[in-house]
Amino acid sequence: MQVISHTSDFAKRDYFLHIAVAPTKNLERYEWFMEKATEIGIDELTPIIGEHSERKIFKPERGERIILSAVKQSLKAKIPTLNPVVSVKDFIKENAGFDGIKLIAHCNEGVRQNITSVLPKDCRFLIMIGPEGDFSASEVELAMQNGFIPISLGESRLRTETAALTIVTATYLLTSNF
């Protein structure tokens, strides 16, 4: 057998997306999000635990199996990284030097940009979605102090997994060169 061609950028996307999402109270919803986000296109997923999180435990072994199954089903060439569970505050501090655009979606009062206005093409994104109780005011403040841009996903209050999938889909649609 002989290799006649080599493609290093097979199924390569025009963006890099690291999404940090708080596990939902109902774990099946979070697992559904993981599957769909992998099918659409993410590079990294970090489960984050915030002050208002109801679920404090997440088993990565099952998450890895869900991601791998979604990669196979969607014919993705790259398996997204599933990072260990971390607190919101530690995640923000650990990613202070992230080379790209950092966004935090929340429902708290204050100025927030529309998601469509902050997604340029060919970029690296780090996006945080909070738990069902949303981020605390101190978590949002810490994120903003560390360069995260607060964003809005519209008028409706979305479930955690719906908000996260909305961001994954928006990133895919608004930054891809079809």
Give the DSSP per-residue string, 119-149: --SS-EEEEEE--TT---HHHHHHHHHTTPE
Tokens of 117: 């206005």
| pLDDT 10s digits, 79-94 | 999 999 999 999 999 9
Distance separating alpha carbons of residues 81 and 43, to the nearest angstrom? 6
pLDDT tens profile 106-148? 877 766 767 776 777 778 999 999 998 889 999 999 999 999 9
| Domain span including residue 91 | 16-175
Q: 56 or 29: whose pLDDT is higher?
A: 29
Specify if 4 maps to a domain.
no
Q: Is residue 82 part of a domain?
A: yes
Contacts of 2 (CB under 8 A, 6+ apart): none
SS3 102: strand
Look at the block and give the residue holding tokens 């979070």.
30
**CATH number for 46:** 3.40.1280.10
Average pLDDT score over residue span 63-78: 93
Please report the pLDDT score of residue 142 as a whole number: 97
Instruction: Specify the number of domains making up the chain.
Output: 1
